């Protein structure tokens, strides 16, 4: 009899714990939400639409919400995650497939709380964890701009997430663990607002755990860009992309022109500069630059370098002289304003060589911007060099001119080549 009572008590206790847990998840997912007023609309004045167009541009909405070859803001682009793909929604004012039936309250709730018009929780591939910092006034301006677009009828494909990640229950638990709406009465510094909020830099540059939750104790500390297979470097580490010792003017140039005396951008960041950051006002560009420059330096550990065998250095040196020296110079000094120096280059010396492999295989291209309309680029060597040659030449570059970085393995090159297809 005592055993039976113990079993019953255990079952009831477990049920109570589950009920309390479910209640807590529901409470956390409704924090600070207010009821939707269907009558709330925005004025749609030319001034508000113009302001919204600027905010949407510096928020880089177009990059995710435009599929290759598709209509601007009509959605359909796949956002790859470790759990499957999510497709960006249609932001044009189409009644059937876009925002045509939305009102300003519903749009604000999506940005601030990550909840769709029909009440569904949105997948955090849409970076509402950052957009929650966007003010109501800016959200209304963006909504006014999107309402001014030509409607495009284009349904959004269903996500291809694996179970259980494709369920609302899993999303609710994820949000309870990782998301709290920002306090709207707390004003951020303009630079912080642009970096942490509208610019959602943390969506790429902040590392995540196994469940895709951002590591809040390591903001902007560097991470793999899911689906792109590029490394978004730490914005605080002097060994990666920290800018504490940069003049503000050089940071502004990097953000708006894509190139500065201290370096240039490539890969996914080149797309961000082209579509978004080059359009920053001088005031906003300076605010971002000053905030990034003031980030506390991180103390990321120094990775132990892999020794480079003499035979690999010899083979890499031959490839370098045949394929690279004409532009980058025999001593890796490059040519100012045209070809970057490889000697002392942080991108070369970083522990993670992924971006170097991407550039050699698929080319390195600066964005064409108003400040640098005809950028130099590096051609792809995918068809020219074998995996062994790419690994050797990168190992040679990393082991020369006091770079003191480790070798690049052939298997790493092969994986990047195969992933790109």
Hey, is 301 helix, strand or coil? coil
Hey, is 46 helix, strand or coil? helix
Give the pTM: 0.88
Residue 339 gets which letter from DSSP?
B
| Residue burial 283-308, b: 16+ Cβ < 10 Å; e: rest | ebbbbbbebbbebeebebeeeeeeeb
Q: How far is the C-alpha of 417 from the C-alpha of 384, rounded, in Å?
A: 13
Residue 59 gets which letter from DSSP?
T
Digitized pLDDT (tens) for each residue of the chain, 421 residues in all: 566 656 654 555 444 444 444 434 454 455 556 666 666 667 789 999 999 999 999 999 999 999 999 999 999 999 999 999 999 999 999 999 999 999 999 999 999 999 999 999 999 999 999 999 999 999 999 999 999 999 999 999 999 999 999 999 999 999 999 999 998 766 789 999 999 999 999 999 999 999 999 999 999 999 999 888 999 999 999 999 999 999 999 999 999 999 999 889 999 999 999 999 999 999 999 999 999 999 998 876 666 678 999 999 999 999 999 999 999 999 999 998 889 999 999 999 999 999 999 999 999 999 999 999 999 899 999 999 999 999 999 999 999 999 999 999 999 999 999 986 4
Residue 409 contacts residue 390 (beta carbons within 8 Å) = no
Q: Which residues, other chains included, contact 57 with Cβ-Cβ below 8 Å and sequence gap of 6+?
A: 275, 276, 279
Q: How far is the C-alpha of 375 from the C-alpha of 387, rounded, in Å?
A: 28
Q: What is the CATH number of domain 310-420?
A: 1.10.760.10
Q: Which residues, other chains included, contact 286 with Cβ-Cβ below 8 Å and sequence gap of 6+?
A: 248, 252
**Domain boundaries in the chain?**
1-30, 46-178, 190-293, 310-420
The alpha-helical segments, DSSP class H, found in 29-135 are 46-58, 61-64, 104-113, 128-131
Hey, is 214 helix, strand or coil? strand
């Amino acid at each position: 009899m005592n055993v039976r009572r113990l079993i019953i008590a255990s079952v009831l206790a477990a049920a109570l714990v589950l009920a309390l847990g479910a209640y807590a998840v529901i409470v956390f997912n409704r924090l600070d939400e207010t009821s939707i007023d269907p009558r709330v609309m925005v004025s749609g004045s030319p001034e508000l639409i113009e302001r919204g167009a600027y905010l949407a541009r510096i928020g880089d909405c177009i990059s995710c919400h435009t599929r290759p070859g598709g209509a601007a803001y009509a959605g359909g682009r796949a956002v790859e995650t470790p759990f499957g793909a999510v497709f960006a929604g249609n932001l044009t004012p189409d009644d059937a497939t876009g925002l045509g039936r939305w009102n300003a309250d519903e749009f604000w709730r999506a940005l601030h709380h990550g909840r769709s018009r029909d009440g569904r929780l949105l997948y955090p591939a849409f970076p509402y964890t950052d957009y929650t910092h966007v003010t109501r006034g800016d959200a209304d301006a963006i909504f006014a701009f999107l309402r001014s677009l030509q409607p495009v009828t284009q349904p959004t494909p269903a996500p291809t997430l694996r179970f259980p990640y494709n369920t609302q229950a899993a999303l609710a638990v994820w949000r309870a663990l990782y998301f709290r709406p920002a306090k709207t009465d707390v004003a951020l510094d303009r630079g912080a607002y642009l970096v942490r909020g509208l610019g959602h830099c943390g969506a790429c540059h902040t590392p995540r755990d196994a469940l895709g939750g951002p590591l809040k104790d390591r903001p902007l500390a560097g991470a793999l860009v899911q689906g792109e297979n590029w490394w978004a470097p730490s914005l605080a580490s002097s060994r990666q992309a920290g800018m504490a010792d940069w003049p503000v003017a050089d940071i502004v140039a990097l953000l708006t022109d894509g190139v500065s005396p201290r370096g240039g951008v490539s890969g996914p960041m080149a797309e961000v500069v082209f579509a978004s950051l080059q359009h920053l006002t001088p005031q906003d560009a300076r605010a971002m630059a000053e905030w990034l420059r003031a980030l506390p330096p991180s103390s990321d550990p120094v990775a132990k370098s892999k020794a480079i065998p003499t035979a690999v250095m010899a083979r890499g040196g031959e490839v370098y002289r045949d394929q690279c020296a004409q532009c980058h110079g025999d001593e890796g000094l490059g040519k100012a304003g045209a070809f970057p120096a490889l000697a002392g280059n942080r991108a070369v010396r970083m522990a993670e060589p992924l971006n170097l492999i991407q550039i050699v295989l698929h080319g390195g291209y600066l964005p064409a911007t108003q400040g640098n309309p005809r950028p130099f680029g590096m051609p792809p060597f995918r068809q020219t060099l074998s995996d062994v040659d790419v690994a050797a030449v990168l190992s040679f570059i990393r082991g020369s001119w006091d770079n003191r970085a480790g070798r690049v393995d052939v298997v790493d090159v092969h994986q990047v080549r195969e992933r790109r297809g």
